[in-house]
Structure 1
Amino acid sequence: MVEPLCYGTIPVGQAVGPLAYVVPRDFNQRRLAALSGRDLSACFRTEDGEFAEPSFLYGQHSWVMRRHFSWAGSVHAKCDVALEGPVRPGDRIHVTGRIADKYERRGGRYAVFEMATVDDDGRPVCTVRNSMLLNFREVVTRRRVAQADPPAASAPDPAKAGGPALAVSFGPKALTRDDILSFYAAEEQVYGPHASLHNDEAAAKAAGLADIIAPGRYSLGLMSCLLGGLHRDRWLPGARFSVAFLRNLLPGVVLRASAIPRERSNLIGRPATTIDITCMDERSGLPVLSGTAELPGKGGWSPGCR
């Protein structure tokens, strides 16, 4: 039985799953077409074979938690990802979700979902914590009445970051309505159909949006393309991301994902590189995503690559 996820009665700690899914063999073909107008297949291929563009793993709460709960009109606010290794087309994955927390901030009510994914042999693939703004329409209506947007995070300034003044980027990518539908449909091919703000215009408008929006993880998909182009799959085992989604990805935005090295650190006994990651809307000059990533030092970052 599916029950409404009401903030006041959110059952923190409740788990759902595990549920098993198979990644279709043509997943990358469908997914990458929505991320770029050029052939990116080489970015996700190694001598061991093809691996799946991993951002589809970051939004599994949309399917797993909705086996037991319903919530409409929410938007993705924050995402923390810990990757352990690649998933390959044709693999079966097993996903367990739980409601990890809830909190209120500046009038927003948030639910935090934690998703743990393992492969068929029980080896960890990734753990993801997603903070979802449940009362998006209420918050955006109040913001419009106040005629003010919340302060936006600015893109990292390499001159102030303490590292070399060097960035690599992927884009620009003009986001079309068809891109949004195709990107989301690639996930539906894994998990099954689900009407949402990402493919249902009526649902988007009911939430106070002008049109459907891309999932926030679309920006992280662009980041996967950037890192895959640099290092194929060598950045995946041990990669950590923590990002905030700052603006909705409506059709017409022109996106560029960028990464700037900040400092050397240590990750589980191995050298690692901390980078600032940003996705900008070049049309408005405003960031839509901002955060950090910590990548394994072995192949995790190579400033000379483009």
Structure 2
Amino acid sequence: MPEQELPLFDYNEVQIGEALGSYEYLLTQDMVDLYRRAVDDPDAVFPTIAVKHDATSLAMAYDDQTGGVNAGNEIDLHNTPIPGKKIRVTGRIHDKYIRRDKPYLVIEATAMDEDGRLIEKMRTYQLKKPEELGKKWHPQG
């Protein structure tokens, strides 16, 4: 079956509350161990942040050729994910706004395990005009 072509991301057209991609994956002990090595903490208990739930959800819904610059993250951690359990991720547009004449998008991803336990809610703030980055240090003149 051929891959479905995604619609181009258009900041002006996306709606607050709009659903993005949803998916499941099996959290393995190897994933947990790899994350713990990467953060140099043998007891790290919230490895799902390494999976990029937010970016994956957006990429499943849109072909985002504009790119974006990470302007911040918020994460609410609720329960420790358990290796061997499936994690279901749902994404949505949480907010969008203009600040200092620049468009921002807030993507929210919610992760729950197969038993219905809420693992995390993550919100990522993206500046949707990446060409703006660094302009204050390199003014036109």
Instruction: Give the TM-score band, short-chain normalised.
Output: 0.7 to 0.9
Aligned to 1:22: 26
Counterpart in 2 of 1:228? none
Q: Which residue of 1 aligns with 2:138?
A: 145
TM-score between both structures, scaled by the size of structure 1: 0.40
Residues 72-91 of structure 1, C-alpha deviations (whole Å, 9 max, x = no match):
43121121211111112222
Instruction: Find the aligned partners of 2:32 and 2:115 in 1 and give their Cα distance.
Output: 23
Distance 1:130 1:52, change over 3 A: closer
Q: Is residue 53 of structure 2 the alignment partner of residue 60 of structure 1?
A: yes
Q: Taking every aligned residue pair, what percent have the same amino acid on both sides?
A: 25
**What RMSD in Å do the two structures reach over aligned CA positions?**
2.2
- Counterpart CA distance in 2 for 1:35 and 1:125 is 19
Q: CA contact under 8 A between 1:52 and 1:88: conserved in structure 2? A: no
Q: Distance in 1 between matches of 2:134 and 2:78?
A: 40
77, 92, 105: which is aligned to 2:99? 105
Q: Give the distance between the partners of 2:55 and 2:21, measured in 1 at CA.
A: 13
Counterpart contact for 1:75–1:133, Cα < 8 Å: yes
CA shift in 2, pair 1:136/1:11, >3 Å? same
Q: Is 1:90 paired with 2:84?
A: yes
Structure 1 or 2: larger helix share?
A: 1
2-structure distance, mates of 1:65, 1:130? 11
Letter in 1 for 2:60: R
Name the counterpart of 2:14: 10
CA shift at 1:52, angstroms? 4.7
Q: Which runs of 5+ in 1 are unaligned?
A: 45-50, 148-306
**Superimposed CA distance per residue, residues 212-256 of structure 1 (whole angstroms, 9 cap, x where no aligned partner):** xxxxxxxxxxxxxxxxxxxxxxxxxxxxxxxxxxxxxxxxxxxxx
Other structure's SS at 2:29 match: coil
Alignment-mate amino acid for residue 13 of structure 1: G
Structure with bigger RCO (C-alpha 8 Å, 6+ apart): 2
- Code of the residue aligned with 1:128 in structure 2: it is M
